[in-house]
Structure 1
Amino acid sequence: MARIAKVVVEISLDREFDYNIPAHLQPTIKVGSQVNVPFHGRNLRGFVVGLASFSAYADKLKEIDSVVGEKPLIPDEIMKLAYWIADYYCAPIEQAVRTVLPSAVRRHGARHKKQRFVALTGKVPEKITALQDAVFRTLEQLGSMSVSELCERAGCTESPIKTLEKKGLVTISEETVQRDPHAGMELLRTQPFDLMVEQKVALDKICASMDLKKPKTVLLHGVTGSGKTEVYLQALQHALDKGQGAIVLVPEISLTPQTVDRFRSRFGDCVAVLHSNLSDGERHDEWHRIRDGKAQIAIGARSALFAPVENVGLIVVDEEHEPTYKQDESPRYNARDVAVMRGHLETCCVVLGSATPALESFANVKSGRYELAEMVQRVDDRSMPLMRVVDMRIEAEKEGRPTIFSAELVQGIYDRLNVGEQVILFLNRRGFSSSIQCEMCGYVAECTECSISMTYHKRANKMMCHICGREEKVPDKCPSCGDLNFKYAGMGTQKIEEILEKLCPKARVARMDSDTMRKKDSYRTVLDKFKTGKLDILLGTQMIAKGLDFPNVTLVGVLYADMSLQVPDFRAGERTFQLLTQVAGRAGRGEKAGEVIVQAYTPHHPAIQAARNLDYEGFCSQDLEFRRELGYPPFSHLVLLTFKGESEVDVMTTADKFFQSLESVLPESVNAVPPMPAPLARAKGFWRYQIMLRCEHTVKMTKPIRHVQNRMRLPKGVSLSIDVDALSLL
């Protein structure tokens, strides 16, 4: 029996520590157990990541104090996954272990909710007070209930209940109460739909892969409205029929309510939900439902990938192209790629679904690493929406000034409202105005902490930085020249909402962006209103661009479609194409045909034209050729090192020293770009410099980075973040 446990503690030191296992704890300590250990004069929590019978420090080892809980919190396969994440994404092992276990489960004091319940154990005695009689009658009519509910229903305090308990007429017991995020929600159960030919072929491919000893990764490329979700549902049923569990990932919290409702309608209580909009208590209880085998299907955003589902048979990554699957703090993992690795470790099938797959996934199909299943027809042979591109330069000439709504879009909105149909308007910028600019001297109000202009929010009458969150009052006059006329340049969703109120005063409009969706149930409330026809126009940022299914939406308007093309990033074209295709897919999903009006100042850009023609293959071929010539992903892996600190000189000097050390140990096959200011040179008060590395093999970059990291101490006030397979160059 192993006598030594290898433990990682809760502070990031990127190393394991050996501890003796006392005899009385040997039967209970396993890999994944949470333990309390002595560490430099204090007591810390940690996780057992390995067991051994020998240690090089045998005579100096301390003993583990105690074990937390009866069962290990981290299963073996997920522990292996944590080690892979730490190694691949150049992160300390402690951070990787914390990543695979929700804070609601691992934190001190995390426990199930207990509540006191009262039950009758005797008959009503002849002599009894009025309040005691009320308690008796309530329990006789309604049965056992919590003390608090009984007090409320019987109109009493706890005193008469305790008196009855002393007489042996009732019992009070403490019971575990499940914190259910779906409490009070009734859903009609659904049966599997008859599949169209393409859906059936796709499902057969997925099920065939699930039945293999070494299942493959399947890329499900299905146009918007082609019925991908029904294919997922029937594939999940195949897993359940085999006695297996499953995980379904969605990219946005805003998609979770609608997705969860569809899955719960089909599978009931065997579905558990894990995402950040739940309370800590709800997350704790949902996680334990999965761990205890009471829920076989876990659904949620990125972190749901690490749910302790036993015997996983299927992992679905819906909208697999979405950048929200990439974590923006260490370890900077991409849930799509880690899902493929979990599938490999647990020999289960992984399905990546999208109407606009990432170029990396498309390239993996071409190279034979992934299998392809295609669905190019919409369900019930519904037509794809007609997409029209409006040149806003011509509109500006007609009006004699730049305009926000083209005549075509305004008429389209009126036409839909007149016949009781719904409209979605999309603009990927929140706030009222993108900046405040003086027409006299050209002064632009910029954030003092970031190299970016402040955004004007009219309702709060303040300027906000969307990078660091800094807020300021709007000056009465230009701080530079004193002119009283500030001009609000650009626009945001708040400004569009105000214009809509004037254009369509009787229309019921709701805005969905991160300013309005701050309450726990905001997403569900607005989407339910829209679905039931209580709203006419839904206006929002990218959170409304994908995954939502509203049959009565027949017009989608995209404002400033080329805004995302102005970002200094080689993926700008791909992101624009994906966004336009996805948002267009919200139209015409019911019986009525749909139309999409795209407003742009560069209407002939290849990404916009490819989206207009729904030409995914054509766009991919063109963009892949451009990337092949420049050696960008998917023809290489990209690692971005970002140094940041409050002193620009210190940051620049540190980046230069690191690069000199790194350059001497990098293989020749690595393309290394020397340090330069990041496109967003200053954010949240910190200066930022970047080193970019590209190579076909990640390990040829990460090993040298680790080597230099271990030998070079960064000066105080300068930090380094390592982003492997970076999605954003900002």
Structure 2
Amino acid sequence: MSYAKVIVNLALDKDFDYLIPQALEGKLEVGSQVIVPFGSSERRGYVIAFAERPVHRGEIKPITSVCGDESKIPSSLIELGKWMADYYCCSQEQAVRSLLPGAVRRGMVKPKTVTYYELGDKAEYDKVTGNPRLHSQIRVLKLIEKHRRLTLPALEALAGTGRSVIASLLKKGALNAVAETVGRDPYEGVEILPSRPLELNDEQSSALKRITVMMNDTAKKSRVLLLYGVTGSGKTEVYLQAIAKAIEEDKEAIVLVPEISLTPQTVSRFRERFGDMVSVLHSGLSDGERFDEWGKVSSGKVKIAVGARSALFAPFRKLGLIIVDEEHEHSYKQDKAPRYHARDVAVMRGLMEKAVVVLGSATPSFESYHNAITGKFEIERLSKRADDCLMPEIRVIDLKLESAREGKTHYFSQTLVTAVRDRLARGEQSIIFLNRRGYARQMLCEHCGFIAECPDCSVPYTYHKKKQILSCHLCGEHIPAYPKCPDCSAEDIRYSGAGTERLESTAAELFKGAVIARMDSDTMNTHDDYEKVLNSFKKGDIDILIGTQMIAKGLHFPNVTLVGVINADLSLHMPDFRAPERTFQLLTQVAGRAGRGEIKGEVIIQTFSPFNPAITAAVENDYEGFYEEEMEIRGQLGYPPEKHLMTVYLKGPDTDKLSDFSSKIMESLKTFISEDIIVSPPSPAPIERIKGKYRYMIIFRGNKLRRLRNALRQLLYTSKIPADIEVYVDVDAVNMM
């Protein structure tokens, strides 16, 4: 007898032994989805290993059945899931669950079928067509004879007849109904014009050659390349030609983009080059589309998977290349268990499957750049824009001086207003960037000082004028906007701080006749909204595009010659050690949208901190100098990438209980904290309360955290944690708020 170790869909971090019945001998593999008896019911689970004898004592129940091949996870991904569970302090079940879409995992979605009607028995056909009184049936048969086969809707529309006529023909045998499985295409109806490889410049050719050598040399120790190229340097063309090389060697490729909003544009570039060899995997698809796209990858019908974070787990068996575009983006870090970073898991998957991993960015994360200059990763630089386009000229507007001169601070400085009007006169386009949505940051009563705050979170409500609501951007709750102060009934309410909605309103007043569009999470409600606006902008139907960070990266519009940054300070003064790095990245990325055509671009940055190192480095495009300056500070404080960082979060309704329990956790971990580990003891998080729950955090920094990490994982799944307290660990945390 042989046994299988199975994990079920419960966060127990425990596998269970099951007997493999004789009928299933030889039909199971690591990664097979099975139905098993569990307690008084049955559950779906995954085989993660086999054993000759069970570890658990007592009765060993047999596996009930095995599910179809479409839900099977490759054994290499099961191993990756085990590593994720260990490294990111989550259960095995949570890690394996993240490896495939819920639509596949739950087994609720079935293949889509379409019924076609074809001619049936020839003798019955002759009987019907020989009887002139059956004119409706004759019309149906003649239509099918002409078109060979038709669906029911098409047949009803063309014949102008009811279903009873078709049912009669089916009963006679003159018609046959044939059901066929068809794929759900998320890009059905989208016209794709094939593209050809472009001629590469010397730097691009060098990068492609390095990637090709790395793919061919499977014994090579370093299999990660940082492609550090300025905005507009042609990184995507290098990706495309590297994938072509992989396909020539009968290998497969994964392309990750940081957000769903980037996916349609990226997918178009890859489909134009590779046609039907491309599959798309992201959470914006319907369950049916995700089921079919996963199936195309799993069955080997496609060679390339493009998508956001979850596309990393595309079930390829001959993976040769993983590309992580905009690798510095923090949206690659998942904010719920397993709290993995897609960039780092991509590196691990590449190591396990001997695939090359290319990390691309104009503003590399400090972690990746540190790994490159210390020899852990290889590096290729693209120092100039493709097609010899010039880098944009960047000007800084000191809002303190502007305010002193004008007597108040305007959202659009006079310099920016003049620059936008100049572009409108020349028929060129402008992008205006502000990384805050809504109309105003807060509602303030000037009479009594009342500020409208979310009762469940430690933040003020944001005012949305069009909907006349006050909304909390942390928990999502909203209430009708107050017509007067709820405390003192005064009507002199002031809304302070601008968001993109107010900018749109102000721009409409300043730039009469201009066509203005806004892109933020308030206006982009559906999967198609993003594409519609970008297509209109691309065609020149929009003069000014206003938006948040979703317009700051990955977009290529040659007619954009001006980018205006309304307030560069928003992300600069956050209580997070990465705030300067994020500000530099955001400014550099949004500046890179300007001047991608024949006309040199201009960027106007408005700030109250014109001499801050992050802003001056972005203006001078001096990544290396900024990195060196920041690393001096991080080295002294022991922050990444100098050391690893791990945060323990505690959430609950009672702040005193959180404080007490966090102290108990610290006490239980004392023996696992070595001398080289820096500990920031339990304290309230910068955002102290979200959704009615208070938040505490403990921060550990060090280069040898494995023993402590294992102790924390053990604590999470074996210790008794109060029912009203949630504890989780964020390894390599990127959000310190």
- 1:477-516 superposed Cα distances (whole Å, 9 cap, x missing partner): 2233332111101010001011111111311111111111
Question: Is 1:131 matched up with 2:130?
Answer: no
| Range with greater deviation from structure 2 (136-145 or 479-488) | 136-145
Structure 2 residue identity aligned to 1:205: R
- Asked if the contact 1:316–1:352 (Cα under 8 Å) also holds between the matched residues in 2, the reply is yes
SS in 2 for 1:563: coil
| Whole-Å separation in 2 of the counterparts to 1:425 and 1:138 | 56
Pairing of 1:335-354 with structure 2 (within 5 A): 335-354=342-361
Question: Is 1:205 matched up with 2:204?
Answer: no
Question: Is 1:62 matched up with 2:61?
Answer: yes
| Range with greater deviation from structure 2 (666-675 or 93-102) | 666-675
TM superposition score normalised by structure 1? 0.98
CA shift in 2, pair 1:443/1:284, >3 Å: same
| Whole-Å separation in 1 of the counterparts to 2:592 and 2:70 | 46
- Asked if the contact 2:672–2:707 (Cα under 8 Å) also holds between the matched residues in 1, the reply is no
Offset of residue 186 of structure 1 = 1.5
Question: Is 1:604 matched up with 2:611?
Answer: yes
Offset of residue 137 of structure 1 = 3.0
- Asked if the contact 1:100–1:306 (Cα under 8 Å) also holds between the matched residues in 2, the reply is yes
- Asked if the contact 2:70–2:298 (Cα under 8 Å) also holds between the matched residues in 1, the reply is no
Offset of residue 268 of structure 1 = 0.2
Offset of residue 411 of structure 1 = 0.6
Offset of residue 160 of structure 1 = 1.8
| Whole-Å separation in 2 of the counterparts to 1:249 and 1:452 | 33
CA shift in 2, pair 1:292/1:4, >3 Å: same
Query: Which residue of 287, 290, 307 maps to 1:300?
Result: 307
| Range with greater deviation from structure 2 (373-382 or 711-720) | 711-720
Q: Which runs of 5+ in 1 are unaligned?
A: none
Pairing of 1:373-412 with structure 2 (within 5 A): 373-412=380-419
Offset of residue 71 of structure 1 = 6.0
Question: Is 1:290 matched up with 2:297?
Answer: yes
State the partner residue of 2:644: 637
| Whole-Å separation in 2 of the counterparts to 1:460 and 1:8 | 47
Query: Which residue of 563, 573, 588 maps to 2:595?
Result: 588
Pairing of 1:538-687 with structure 2 (within 5 A): 538-687=545-694
- Asked if the contact 2:70–2:295 (Cα under 8 Å) also holds between the matched residues in 1, the reply is no
- 1:212-266 superposed Cα distances (whole Å, 9 cap, x missing partner): 1135100000000000000000000000000000000000111111110010000
| Whole-Å separation in 2 of the counterparts to 1:151 and 1:648 | 67
Query: Which residue of 183, 189, 200 maps to 2:188?
Result: 183
| Whole-Å separation in 2 of the counterparts to 1:571 and 1:634 | 11
Structure 2 residue identity aligned to 1:198: E
- 1:593-645 superposed Cα distances (whole Å, 9 cap, x missing partner): 11100011111100000000000111111111111111000011111111001
| Whole-Å separation in 2 of the counterparts to 1:6 and 1:360 | 37
- 1:288-339 superposed Cα distances (whole Å, 9 cap, x missing partner): 0111111110000000000012201100000000000000001100000000
| Whole-Å separation in 2 of the counterparts to 1:634 and 1:214 | 28
- 1:1-45 superposed Cα distances (whole Å, 9 cap, x missing partner): x72111000111110000001111123221111111111111111
4+ residue stretches of structure 1 with deviation over 4 A?
none
Offset of residue 133 of structure 1 = 2.6
Query: Which residue of 241, 245, 260 maps to 1:238?
Result: 245
CA shift in 2, pair 1:370/1:487, >3 Å: same
Structure 2 residue identity aligned to 1:621: E
SS in 2 for 1:664: helix
State the partner residue of 1:473: 480
| Whole-Å separation in 2 of the counterparts to 1:707 and 1:291 | 34
| Whole-Å separation in 2 of the counterparts to 1:235 and 1:14 | 39
- 1:68-107 superposed Cα distances (whole Å, 9 cap, x missing partner): 1146610011000000000000001100011011101111
| Whole-Å separation in 1 of the counterparts to 2:517 and 2:268 | 22
Offset of residue 58 of structure 1 = 6.0
SS in 2 for 1:678: strand
| Whole-Å separation in 2 of the counterparts to 1:4 and 1:130 | 66
| Whole-Å separation in 2 of the counterparts to 1:212 and 1:66 | 42
State the partner residue of 1:271: 278
- Asked if the contact 2:672–2:708 (Cα under 8 Å) also holds between the matched residues in 1, the reply is no
Query: Which residue of 201, 213, 218 maps to 1:196?
Result: 201
Question: Is 1:262 matched up with 2:269?
Answer: yes
Pairing of 1:76-225 with structure 2 (within 5 A): 76-121=75-120, 122=122, 125-127=129-131, 129-215=134-220, 216-225=223-232
State the partner residue of 2:14: 15
Offset of residue 108 of structure 1 = 3.3
State the partner residue of 1:694: 701
| Whole-Å separation in 2 of the counterparts to 1:653 and 1:713 | 14
Question: Is 1:414 matched up with 2:410?
Answer: no
State the partner residue of 2:512: 505
Offset of residue 418 of structure 1 = 1.0
| Whole-Å separation in 1 of the counterparts to 2:618 and 2:298 | 43
- Percentage identity across paired residues of the two chains: 48
| Whole-Å separation in 2 of the counterparts to 1:524 and 1:135 | 41
State the partner residue of 1:5: 4
| Whole-Å separation in 1 of the counterparts to 2:70 and 2:529 | 36
Offset of residue 59 of structure 1 = 4.8
SS in 2 for 1:50: strand
Structure 2 residue identity aligned to 1:628: G
| Whole-Å separation in 2 of the counterparts to 1:198 and 1:41 | 64
Q: How many residues align?
A: 729
State the partner residue of 1:43: 42
Offset of residue 687 of structure 1 = 0.4
| Whole-Å separation in 2 of the counterparts to 1:57 and 1:276 | 38
| Whole-Å separation in 2 of the counterparts to 1:214 and 1:407 | 60
Offset of residue 57 of structure 1 = 3.2
| Whole-Å separation in 2 of the counterparts to 1:154 and 1:649 | 75
Offset of residue 66 of structure 1 = 1.1
- Asked if the contact 1:214–1:348 (Cα under 8 Å) also holds between the matched residues in 2, the reply is no
CA shift in 2, pair 1:130/1:503, >3 Å: farther
| Range with greater deviation from structure 2 (606-615 or 152-161) | 152-161
| Range with greater deviation from structure 2 (391-400 or 701-710) | 701-710
Offset of residue 711 of structure 1 = 4.8
Structure 1 residue identity aligned to 2:211: I
- 1:561-616 superposed Cα distances (whole Å, 9 cap, x missing partner): 11101210000000000000000000011111111000111111000000000001
- Asked if the contact 2:224–2:358 (Cα under 8 Å) also holds between the matched residues in 1, the reply is yes
| Whole-Å separation in 2 of the counterparts to 1:647 and 1:578 | 38
| Whole-Å separation in 1 of the counterparts to 2:475 and 2:58 | 50
Structure 2 residue identity aligned to 1:173: V
| Whole-Å separation in 1 of the counterparts to 2:613 and 2:260 | 31
- Asked if the contact 1:319–1:354 (Cα under 8 Å) also holds between the matched residues in 2, the reply is yes
CA shift in 2, pair 1:412/1:45, >3 Å: same
Q: CA RMSD in A?
A: 1.3
Offset of residue 187 of structure 1 = 0.9
Offset of residue 452 of structure 1 = 0.4
Structure 2 residue identity aligned to 1:199: Q
Offset of residue 675 of structure 1 = 0.5
Structure 2 residue identity aligned to 1:82: G
Structure 2 residue identity aligned to 1:138: L
